[in-house]
Amino acid sequence: MTTLKENMSKAVCLFLAEMLRTRKVKLDRCADIAAEIVNRLESIGSEKQFLDAVKELEFEFQELKTLKNDLLQVTSMSSRQQMEQIVREYAIQILPHDPKQSILLLEEALKSESTLISLSKRFPAFAKFAEDYLESNKKIHA
């Protein structure tokens, strides 16, 4: 399984390669951007920190605006995927005991505006499950 830092590095490499391919930036400028990101990579431990670092660097390297927008989209997609995974696990667990609650949760989660926070507010038992689920995943990936 690839690590977060590997994924971040790959995203930057692909972004810079595309910028070079389309001649939107020169090689020396790409080298400067890559060097700055590599310097900060060791201190980055989460997607949010990576996004914050890109936002900071955007002042010096305007080319990173496109990367920032791409990362925002990927981050929101990964948040949605995480929410869907937690909802699935919870629905599977409670289905035999409370099918009505399971269906209500699934229907609410299908709405595009649903988030982990909104579902947790509406379904207190799900909130506890989600908290435990996220905590156990932190321990696994630590």
24-66 residue pLDDT tens: 889 999 899 989 988 888 888 777 788 888 888 888 888 888 8
Q: Is the pLDDT of residue 139 over 60?
A: no
Q: Which one of 34, 62, 90 terminates a domain? A: 62
Q: Is the pLDDT of residue 113 over 80?
A: yes
Q: Is the pLDDT of residue 75 over 70?
A: no
Residue found by looking up tokens 């981050």 in the block: 75
Share above pLDDT 90 across residues of the chain, in percent, rounded to a whole number: 14
Domain of 126 in residue numbering reads as 79-141
> Does residue 68 lie in a domain region?
no
Q: Which of 5, 23, 9 is nearest to 63 (CA)?
A: 23
Q: Which of 75, 95, 90 is nearest to 131 (CA)?
A: 90
Q: Is 95 found in the same domain as 52? A: no
pTM of this prediction exceeds 0.85: no
pLDDT at 73: 64
pLDDT at 107: 92
Q: Give the confidence band of 123 by pLDDT, cuts at 50, 70, 90.
A: very high
pLDDT at 50: 82
Q: Is the pLDDT of residue 142 over 50?
A: no
> Does residue 69 lie in a domain region?
no
Which of 5-14, 67-76, 121-130 shows the lowest mean pLDDT across its residues?
67-76
> Does residue 71 lie in a domain region?
no
Q: Is 56 found in the same domain as 87? A: no
> Does residue 21 lie in a domain region?
yes
| Dist. CA 126–CA 132, nearest whole Å | 10
Q: Is 130 found in the same domain as 83? A: yes
Tally of domains within the chain: 2
